[in-house]
Structure 1
């Protein structure tokens, strides 16, 4: 069973690392068209279908105190804003940096948020997790330096940066701030996992489906923020007409893949954790996050994001990746000590 869990955690990480890749192949869509449609699908359509298919409907949400759902909803608004900024960051600085900076920031802050909900763990657990966070922080800093070095390399090579993307520094800031806001997911999960898990158990459902129940109020609440933002942007920039293109069906298919991968990755990780038993949230956590970052960075390299970068810039990128993977493993070990 444990090998099955490892494979599912690995697949979940790869799916999350690849989710934004189809965006590079959409045609005739502006940023607002692509990501607006993506957020509608991943925040509303996919969670509703998943809840009906996997939870048998929405009864589970009426079995917990409404205050729990409201707390989750408020935190999820922050998460939704953060994920929206993540999409913007990827558009600015590419897959490699967008993922590594965002995920790194989420890990840095998200790993300690549960402490504020459940209290501090034992000293050895806390110390090990904090050591891992320091290593992850070093990785985030290295990746930031890689991005700035790559931008300088492109300037030295006479390659003009797309003005619509803004500066590399701006993209890095968007990714980091987005990661900070996205830790609202960790808080919402810490608040809702227990009560919703009990409700899932009362309904006789598999324990891993708690993740599906937790994700529904998080995605719907975060999706409201994103939906309003993109409706305003599409209207202000008069981009609704861009949906009327011969590429609509191919674009929709690509964006639906993005939405499915983005949502399914979290549910698959929960399933993997259940198959890994006692080590599910430790070993699984490391495999999931590490494989996600590795996949995103490698896919960014494959599609040519770093073709104009010097060995110095790539060195920072690889060093940052190594630090993040090592840090994630240390954090997982710390969680395992608990």
Structure 2
């Protein structure tokens, strides 16, 4: 169990830090950086990793039941839409609030969803796991409140308090919640696909950890379809294709490739952590994984002085939120 918890935490930290290399790209607009990123992390990296690491790759996926392809594909497609909605919500309500609401919804629903596939654990474990999830959710709510106060502290014009601003806030919150609900498709796809893919992978003589790579293949390919379509539209709509014509393209590509590898590795590591955690692995691992990701993002924000202008009250709520997240992780681990 300890190994599974540590792996889930490590996966969350990697996910929380994967976007850091973006700060070193030059001459790229948002659409340029993230279109290349999603192309690499959803298609190139998973395909190369799967073909190199999975013995019997063709046999495993060639004989995979069509019903399972459909279940995993649809769930992963919804996950892709959810991620896109989250990026849109940030435009309305900012990173702090958007991240908190999105991940909070993902943890709450995504951690409970696998019970529909794997079944319920014993009563004592279930009570602890659900209690831990609620503590995590409380922490994310506190963090979201801290984000709102920080935005209020930094507000410099009366225009920000207009009715239009309130409407944008409501719209953004709704988009973040719906996006979080759809993004739980990742957890469902992992839960429903892992049993077959683990058995098929073992039959081909693969080690236990290879199952995580196998599970990620259909999830990323399916999720990548909607992401590719979205960014192709954005590049055309905002006339950003010209942004690729820069002398820094080669260095930018390497930084983005590093982002893609970290992002994919974090997801694969989570899938392996869920396997190591046993029957309740998807629930326990998913909560720990997303919480570690949020905590990492918060700590990174503090280090980079993102909260330097926030009021003492906002900072107290932030620290209380982090404390609840950590406590929630411990309770969930105890439940396992």
TM-score (norm 2): 0.85
User: CA–CA distance in 1 between the matches of 2:226 and 2:283?
Assistant: 32
Q: Deviations over 1:11-51 (max 9, x none)?
A: 43321110122223433222221211111111001100110
Aligned Cα RMSD in Å?
3.1
Give CA deviations for 1:259-311 in whole Å, capped at 9, x if unaligned.
11110012234456677889977986676444433222111222232122112
Is 1:47–2:52 an aligned residue pair? no
Q: Which residue matches 2:164?
A: none
Given that 2:121 and 2:280 are in contact with CA atoms closer than 8 Å, whether structure 1 keeps it comes out as no
Residues 144 and 172, structure 1, Cα contact 8 Å, conserved in 2 = no
Q: 1:256 to 1:168 in 2, by over 3 A?
A: farther
Match of 1:140 in 2: 140
Distance 1:140 1:256 in 2: 30
| Contact 2:133–2:287 (CA under 8 A) maintained in structure 1 | no
Distance 1:314 1:173, change over 3 A: farther
Instruction: Give the Å deviation of 1:228.
Output: 0.7
Deviates more, 1:16-25 or 1:212-221: 16-25
Q: Aligned partners of 2:123, 2:147: CA distance in 1, in Å?
A: 36
Indicate conservation of the 8 Å contact 2:81/2:182, yes or no.
yes
**Alignment-derived partner of residue 314 in structure 1:** 315
For residue 103 of structure 2, what is the aligned residue in structure 1?
103
1:81 counterpart residue number: 81
- Quote the residue 1:60 is aligned against: 60
1:154 matches 2:162: no
The 5 A counterparts of 1:80-229 are 80-88=80-88, 99-156=99-156, 173-229=174-230
How far apart, in 1, do the equivalents of 2:329 and 2:223 lie? 26
How many residue pairs were aligned? 330
Q: In the alignment, is residue 260 of structure 1 matched against residue 257 of structure 2? A: no
Contact 1:34 1:255 in 2 (8 A): yes
For residues 328 and 110 of structure 1, the distance between their equivalents in structure 2, rounded to whole angstroms, comes to 15
CA deviation vs aligned residue, 1:213-256 (integer Å, no higher than 9, x gap):
11111100000001011111111211101111223222222211
Q: 1:274 to 1:187 in 2, by over 3 A?
A: closer
CA distance 1:314–1:156, shift in 2 (3 Å): farther
1:314/1:89 Cα in 2 relative to 1: closer, same or farther (>3 Å)? farther
**Residue pair 1:140, 1:324 contacting (<8 A) in 2 also:** yes
Whole-Å Cα distance in 2 between the matches of residues 210 and 63 of structure 1?
Answer: 16
User: Structure 1, unaligned stretches of length 5 or more?
Assistant: none
Q: Is the 8 A contact 1:157 1:308 kept in 2?
A: no
Cα distance in 2 for residues equivalent to 1:332 and 1:199: 29
Assess, with a 3 A threshold, how the Cα gap between structure 1 residues 173 and 149 changes in structure 2: closer, same or farther: farther
* 8 Å contact kept, 2:96–2:147: no
Instruction: Tell whether the 8 Å contact from 1:95 to 1:300 is kept in structure 2 after alignment.
Output: no
Q: Which residue of 2 aligns with 1:14?
A: 13
Contact 2:187-2:282 within 8 A present in 1 as well = no
Q: 1:285 to 1:155 in 2, by over 3 A?
A: closer
Q: Do the aligned partners of 2:111 and 2:282 also contact (CA within 8 Å) in 1?
A: no
